[in-house]
Amino acid sequence: GQQLNQSPQSMFIQEGEDVSMNCTSSSIFNTWLWYKQEPGEGPVLLIALYKAGELTSNGRLTAQFGITRKDSFLNISASIPSDVGIYFCAGQRSSNTGKLIFGQGTTLQVKP
């Protein structure tokens, strides 16, 4: 089935460092979403992107919708221990279908 390629698979960084992860696809998406999942919980929406080129921030998080509509990235600045978790990108090809396609996830560990 269709997949989003998310990288890196995992990251182990020092507290205070910046983090960057991205998601690519061979197909065009109309919506890109970034979620965070903590152990034993469901994914929680961080940022939603709806237009090519859109750059959106949520606190220390910044995400961009690629111009080609085939990619997106998420940056976390000045990481802190509570940033630990699995970050997923998700895309939707057509609007208002309720069908999301997820990347494989990036596992982030932060060393205090």
Partner 1 sequence: NAGVTQTPKFQVLKTGQSMTLQCAQDMNHEYMSWYRQDPGMGLRLIHYSVGAGITDQGEVPNGYNVSRSTTEDFPLRLLSAAPSQTSVYFCASSPGTGRSDTQYFGPGTRLTVL
Question: DSSP code of 95?
Answer: T
Taking the complex as a whole, how short is the minimal distance between the CB of residue 96 and partner 1, in angstroms?
5
Q: Is there binding between residue 79 and partner 1 (CB under 8 A)?
A: no
**23 vs 110, beta carbon nearer partner 1:** 23
Question: DSSP code of 4?
Answer: B
Q: Is there binding between residue 25 and partner 1 (CB under 8 A)?
A: no
**77 vs 84, beta carbon nearer partner 1:** 84
| Stretch of 11-19, 65-73, 77-85, 100-108 contacting partner 1, by CB under 8 A | 100-108
Candidates 40, 67, 82, 112; binder of partner 1 (CB under 8 A) is 40
**5 vs 20, beta carbon nearer partner 1:** 5
Pairing state between β 5-7 and 19-24:
antiparallel
Contacts 24+ apart (CB under 8 A), 94-97: 94/30, 95/30, 95/31
* CB-CB contact of 6 with 104 (8 Å): yes
* Residue whose token pair is 């609007």: 95
Calpha distance 54→39 (Å, rounded): 30
> What is the total count of residues that contact partner 1 (CB under 8 A)?
31
Judged by the rule CB under 8 A, the positions of this chain that interact with partner 1 are 1-4, 6, 9, 31, 33, 35, 40-45, 48, 50, 88, 90, 92, 95-105
